[in-house]
Amino acid sequence: MVPNIGENVKKLRLEKGITQEQLAEHLAITYQSVSKWENNITNPDLYLIPKIAEYFEVPIDELFKPNMKGYKNKAQRLLAVYEHSGKKEDFEKAEKEYEKILSENKADGEDMRCYGILNEHRSYALATRAEEFYRQAISMGTQAESQLILLLSRTGRNEESIANQEEALKNDPDNVRNWQLLVSAYVYAQMYEKAFDMAKKGLEKFPSDAVLLYMCGDACRMQNKYDDAILYHKKSIEHDPNYGGSYYSLAHIYQDMHKYNEAIMAWEKVLKYNLDAGFDVNAEWPLKEIAKLKALLGNM
């Protein structure tokens, strides 16, 4: 005899609100068989175990646990299934059930907590998959290092990211991109002083690189060194008018400094840059910022 399984079947059956006859009909067996399980006389045949777990929407190992916890509702059971399997389809089933609870205004604090757990588990799974794709892209010669650095930062792996880029720079210091990527790793780790020092050091080797100039400017901005930031961003644009990062940064800096007229002119340059580059879809943001700043000036 396998302990617990009969008791757990009974607990799940009662939770689901069905009779022994209904469970037996679904499994194509007699209700007497179900009764024997629940009274610890016999165990279900092995081939029935997956069917029972699927029917009650629980992981198979749950059926064998002593003192198996009852689930608050179907959504919580489906969450347990997804935690066990990690399969996309199991996530979607649980998500659908939680969305149903929300739409019916039946969700309480425990439902919200569990829905958060569901999405957190899914986010980890998606992050892992994204990392795999980025690494494959890099191995195929596509520049996806920046996306990988950002992903590692978002998942709390800044030290690993920095170590990777330090090693890359050590192996090939004549590649300007290695300098840029290491600076990015420092920025995402919020090590702005180190980012500035590294970008400035890179500029000694590549004095006209617009990206490193932009990075110096943004590192200064993050430290509220606005005058220095403006100088670096203007130099970046001077060396490469087609590199757009500094246009945005200048607009933000002038806003931070409450220099609204300068900010409007900077956003107008952002708008022109996007339109000239054919990025029509990006025109809405600068237009909104310009309108907002003009309204602020009108109220002053």
Model confidence band, residue 270 (pLDDT cutoffs 50, 70, 90): very high
Q: What is the pLDDT of residues 277-289, one digit of tens each?
A: 888 777 889 999 9
Q: What is the pLDDT of residues 102-133, one digit of tens each?
A: 999 999 999 999 999 999 999 999 999 999 99
Q: Which residue has the higher pLDDT, 211 or 17?
A: 211
Nearest by Cα to 146 from 175, 178, 190: 178
Cα–Cα distance for residue pair 227/247, rounded to 1 Å: 15
What are 184-187's contacts with CB under 8 Å, separation 24+?
184/146, 184/149, 184/150, 184/215, 185/149, 185/153, 185/158, 185/161, 186/162, 187/215, 187/218, 187/219, 187/222
Query: The pTM is what?
Result: 0.74
Cα–Cα distance for residue pair 52/12, rounded to 1 Å: 10
Kindly report the three-state secondary structure assignment for every residue of 269-285.
HHHHHHHHCCCHHHHHH
Please compute the mean of the pLDDT values over residues 41-65 and round it to a whole number.
87
Q: What is the pLDDT of residues 192-242, one digit of tens each?
A: 999 999 999 999 999 999 999 999 999 999 999 999 999 999 999 999 999
Report pLDDT for 157.
96
Instruction: Give the chain's domains with CATH numbers.
Output: 5-123 (1.10.260.40)
Report pLDDT for 85.
86
Question: From its phi and psi, is residue 34 left (phi > 0), alpha (psi between -120 and 50) or beta?
Answer: alpha
Half-sphere exposure of 75 (CA within 13 A, CB side): 21
